[in-house]
Amino acid sequence: MLEIRIHGRGGQGVVTAAELLSLAAFREGQYAQAFPSFGSERMGAPVTSFCRLDAEPIRLREPIDRPDVIVIQDPTLLASHDVLAGLSTDGWLLVNSSRGFAELGLADWVAQFRPGRARCVPASELARQHLGRPLPNAALLGGLAGLTGAVGIDSITSAIRERFAGAVGERNSAAATAAFTLSRTEPVPC
Amino acid sequence: MLKQLECSRAIAETIARCRPQVVCAYPITPQTHIVEALSELVRDGSLSPCEYINVESETSALSVALGASATGARAYTATASQGALHMAEVIYNVAGLGLPVVMTLGNRAVGAPINIWNDHSDAMALKDAGWIQLFARDAQESLDLHVLAFRLAEELSVPVMVCVDGFVLTHSVEPLDVPSQEAVDRFLPPYQPVQVLDPADPVSIGAMVGPEAFTEVRYLAHHKQLQVLTRLPELAAELAQLIGRPSGALLHPYRLDGAETIVVAMGSVTGTIEVAIDELRAAGLAIGAVALCAFRPFPLAALAEALADARRVVVIERNLAPGLGGALASNVRMALRGRAIPVHTVIAGLGGRPVTRAALRPVFESAARDALDDLVFLDLDNAAIDRELARSGERRRSGPAAENLLRDARRPR
């Protein structure tokens, strides 16, 4: 089973991201469970969502305390919340940032990860380019596909188009594909 | 066909396939997505003929369902928590009048303190109102139980509450199979009321009944519930044939072979308990579980049989009966009368606190060693309790406990 936790803020599509990821995995014949950690949601408030992927039906209903993968949609959360809790250096880390891990203060820790398993992707910038709005969730899903290989990029873009018809779906798919491509290239040393 | 769906959406689609003629709703978290989705299905014509009635409160929502049902219409509504308590008087009336309304309860804690998250306090507050109460163990069952609910309700002329854990199930997105229209139509015949408000053949419904007949009317309500004990398994078997999976039962046994310790629970915690049991079985512990689906009527005989070889029982209880322990454990003890075995009450998952394998495993292991207390609060922060008790002991005006404990929880240590 692969367990993924996504952190962001209200309005960034954190819950939708977990849902789309589960939809992409479902398209590939995996069992997938996506669920939010709901508070009384407000724009800008920290939001967490969860996704489990497995070859078997999923019975567990507990939140994910020890994720295999963490996605950070808003890096300002790193300073104020323990969003990396439970992630070991055997896992995967994807952060929405145009800076590097050094500037985020994570370089030493991230250096212990296996090669290619921790990555910053400028998802908000990609979203601005492709959607005209800094909504990073679709781009990060593309990055997640590139980083982990847990789902294919085609499944991600199909899931996005299935959920969002027309131009919205196309633009988000383009952002996801751009982030996917970027995440498959060698990271800029930082 | 399996589709990746939010459970609430899939419940709405299942309800639509049951062809209700009246849906009335007042939104309250966490059931809102269900009635929102139903409103779309009515508006776009997918659910037709059906009148969707927006009302100004929960009391009105169920009153409209009551009136609709009394005219012979198939009626549905949904609520949760404070909403269920708001309509409490009507809940009793629907049952007392024997009207087969089906209602989803998106289980949520009851304030104060206000809390939007899951536990079973709302269902337990209404357990003796005369409704059948069915608890879904997972998202798929929460769909299928609604199909069963309409059939049971209408056959016996008794209302059914389908209890679906708020957020944990209602907001989960997973592969779900909405029962096909063909299967639902074969299973659920058009509603034939035993009593109907019809201008062509007028009757009155809702007589004032004095001591001369009140007990007999109430007895009949009990008699109806007892019939469910036979009919529910039969209907569940019939439905299973049509949808190709077992769903709905009085109870679901899990790995009871040779189990000396048996865990009893209801609702969405079932899956996590099963995973914990698999892990403990692999480590050699003789443990199994029973997930109750029917809480009202309470399946005394079926549970007694399931627990026949148990040496101890651990009840995972998602509600608190202050001053006693828990409603579920008290009922489980009724099924064990005459048997001198320990029945432990574990209060767990109140107000949305996660119930985890990591917390459950040591509780089960400790029960197996006969070292578990009679009443346990899972993951209780005893130090925080002690600090608040100390504060309230120091001075009379120690302030509101909820605010004090929140401040305490936020203080760095």
Q: Helix, strand, coil % (nearest 5) of chain A?
A: 40, 20, 45
Q: Are A117 and A91 in contact (CB under 8 A)?
A: yes
**B132 belongs to a structural domain:** yes
Phi/psi of residue A184, each to 5°? -90, -10
Q: Where are the beta strands (DSSP E) in A116-189?
A: 118-121
In this structure, what CATH number is given to the domain that contains residue B298?
3.40.50.920
Of B210, B243, B276, at which residue does a domain stop? Answer: B243
B80 CB neighbours in chain A (<8 A) are none
Asked if B173's CB is within 8 angstroms of A31's CB, the reply is no
Asked if A23's CB is within 8 angstroms of B4's CB, the reply is yes
| Closest CB to A26 among B4, B171, B274 | B4
Q: What is the ipTM of this complex?
A: 0.94
| Residue B106 and residue B129 in one domain | yes
The arithmetic mean of pLDDT across residues B163-184, rounded, is 98
| Residue indicated by tokens 């949609």 | A73
Number of structural domains in chain A: 1
| Residue B51 and residue B131 in one domain | yes
Asked if B174's CB is within 8 angstroms of A31's CB, the reply is yes
**Closest residue, chain A, to B29 (C-alpha):** A40
Hey, is the C-beta of A40 within 8 angstroms of any chain B C-beta?
Answer: yes
A23 CB neighbours in chain B (<8 A) are 4, 173
| Kind of pairing between the strands at B51-54 and B251-254 | unpaired
**A189 belongs to a structural domain:** no
Q: Are A163 and A169 in contact (CB under 8 A)?
A: yes
B356 CB neighbours in chain A (<8 A) are 62-63, 65
Q: Are A24 and A141 in contact (CB under 8 A)?
A: yes
pLDDT of B128 > 80? The answer is yes
**Distances from the Cα of B11 to the Cα of A34, B31, B292, angstroms:** 17, 10, 20
| Residue B198 and residue B261 in one domain | no
Question: What count of residues does chain A have?
Answer: 190
Of B243, B268, B297, at which residue does a domain stop? Answer: B243
Shortest distance, CA B264 to any CA of chain A (angstroms): 17
B252/B306 Cα distance (integer angstroms): 9
Q: What is the pLDDT of residues A13-66, one digit of tens each?
A: 999 999 999 999 999 999 999 999 866 667 889 999 999 999 999 999 999 999
Give the pLDDT score at A186: 66
In this structure, what CATH number is given to the domain that contains residue B65?
3.40.50.970
B185/B177 Cα distance (integer angstroms): 16
Burial-class residue B17 by CB neighbours within 10 Å (0-12, 13-18, 19+): buried
B171/B39 Cα distance (integer angstroms): 18
Asked if B271's CB is within 8 angstroms of A31's CB, the reply is no
**A59 belongs to a structural domain:** yes
DSSP B71: T
Q: What is the pLDDT of residues B25-58, one digit of tens each?
A: 999 999 999 999 999 999 999 999 999 999 999 9
| Kind of pairing between the strands at B287-292 and B251-254 | antiparallel
**A121 belongs to a structural domain:** yes
From chain A residues 60-99, the ones with a CB under 8 A of any chain B CB are 60-63, 65
| Residue B319 and residue B335 in one domain | yes
Give the pLDDT score at A42: 77
| Closest CB to A59 among B4, B175, B271 | B271
| Kind of pairing between the strands at B312-317 and B102-107 | unpaired
**Which residues constitute the domain of residue A82?**
2-183
Confidence of residue A187 (pLDDT cuts 50, 70, 90): low
The arithmetic mean of pLDDT across residues B127-155, rounded, is 98
Number of structural domains in chain B: 2
Of B187, B209, B243, at which residue does a domain stop? Answer: B243
B391/B179 Cα distance (integer angstroms): 55
Instruction: Please choose, from the candidates A1, A6, A190, the residue with its C-alpha nearest in 3D space to the C-alpha of residue A96.
Output: A6
B19/A80 Cα distance (integer angstroms): 50
| Closest CB to A62 among B174, B274, B356 | B356
Q: Where are the beta strands (DSSP E) in A55-127?
A: 69-72, 92-96, 118-121
A61 CB neighbours in chain B (<8 A) are 168, 172, 268-269, 271-272, 355
Confidence of residue B413 (pLDDT cuts 50, 70, 90): confident
Asked if B168's CB is within 8 angstroms of A61's CB, the reply is yes
| Residue B200 and residue B68 in one domain | yes
Encoding tokens for residue B367?
């029960």
**B74 belongs to a structural domain:** yes
Q: Which amino acid belongs to residue B21?
A: Q
For A12-15, the CB contacts below 8 A with 24+ separation are A12/A47, A12/A73, A12/A74, A12/A135, A12/A136, A12/A137, A13/A73, A13/A135, A13/A136, A13/A137, A13/A138, A14/A47, A14/A48, A14/A49, A14/A73, A14/A137, A15/A47, A15/A49
Q: Which H or E run contains B291?
A: strand B287-292
**Which residues constitute the domain of residue B208?**
2-243
Give first-to-last CA distance, chain A, whole Å.
Answer: 32
| Residue B267 and residue B132 in one domain | no
A54/A52 Cα distance (integer angstroms): 7
**Closest residue, chain B, to A60 (C-alpha):** B272
Asked if B4's CB is within 8 angstroms of A40's CB, the reply is no
Asked if A63's CB is within 8 angstroms of B4's CB, the reply is no
Burial-class residue A189 by CB neighbours within 10 Å (0-12, 13-18, 19+): exposed
| Residue B193 and residue B299 in one domain | no
Give the pLDDT score at A188: 53
Give the pLDDT score at A114: 95
Is residue B313 helix, strand or coil? strand
B2 CB neighbours in chain A (<8 A) are 26
Hey, is the C-beta of A38 within 8 angstroms of any chain B C-beta?
Answer: yes
| Residue B215 and residue B281 in one domain | no
- Which of A4, A35, A47 should be substituted to probe chain B, the one whose Cβ sees the most B Cβ atoms within 10 Å? A35
Q: What is the pLDDT of residues A78-130, one digit of tens each?
A: 999 999 999 999 999 999 999 999 999 999 999 999 999 999 999 999 999 99
Asked if B174's CB is within 8 angstroms of A34's CB, the reply is yes
B397/B320 Cα distance (integer angstroms): 27
Q: What is the pLDDT of residues B339-380, one digit of tens each?
A: 999 999 999 999 999 999 999 999 999 999 999 999 999 999
In this structure, what CATH number is given to the domain that contains residue A51?
3.40.920.10
pLDDT of B149 > 50? The answer is yes
**B399 belongs to a structural domain:** no
| Closest CB to A33 among B174, B274, B355 | B174
Per the prediction, chain B carries an average pLDDT of 97
Sign of the C-alpha dihedral, residues B238, B239, B240, B243? positive
Asked if A60's CB is within 8 angstroms of B271's CB, the reply is yes
Confidence of residue B243 (pLDDT cuts 50, 70, 90): very high
Q: Please, what's the largest Cα pairwise distance for chain B?
A: 74
**Closest residue, chain B, to A19 (C-alpha):** B173
| Residue B287 and residue B335 in one domain | yes
A32 CB neighbours in chain B (<8 A) are 4, 173-175
pLDDT of B263 > 70? The answer is yes
Phi/psi of residue B70, each to 5°? -70, -20
B272 CB neighbours in chain A (<8 A) are 59-62
Q: Are B249 and B233 in contact (CB under 8 A)?
A: yes
| Residue B238 and residue B261 in one domain | no
A38 CB neighbours in chain B (<8 A) are 30, 116-117, 167, 171
**Closest residue, chain B, to A57 (C-alpha):** B175
Give the pLDDT score at B332: 98
| Residue B295 and residue B236 in one domain | no
| Kind of pairing between the strands at A69-72 and A46-54 | unpaired
| Residue B261 and residue B210 in one domain | no
- Which of B1, B3, B4 should be substituted to probe chain A, the one whose Cβ sees the most A Cβ atoms within 10 Å? B4
| Closest CB to A61 among B4, B6, B268 | B268
**Closest residue, chain A, to B269 (C-alpha):** A61
Q: Are B118 and B355 in contact (CB under 8 A)?
A: no
| Closest CB to A63 among B116, B275, B354 | B354
**A46 belongs to a structural domain:** yes
Hey, is the C-beta of A20 within 8 angstroms of any chain B C-beta?
Answer: no
Neighbouring C-beta atoms of residue B217, cutoff 10 Å? 12
B175 CB neighbours in chain A (<8 A) are 26, 31-32
B358 CB neighbours in chain A (<8 A) are 65
Query: pTM value?
Result: 0.96
Encoding tokens for residue B67?
């009136």
Counting one residue from chain A and one from chain B, the pairs whose CB atoms sit within 8 A come to 65
pLDDT of A190 > 80? The answer is no
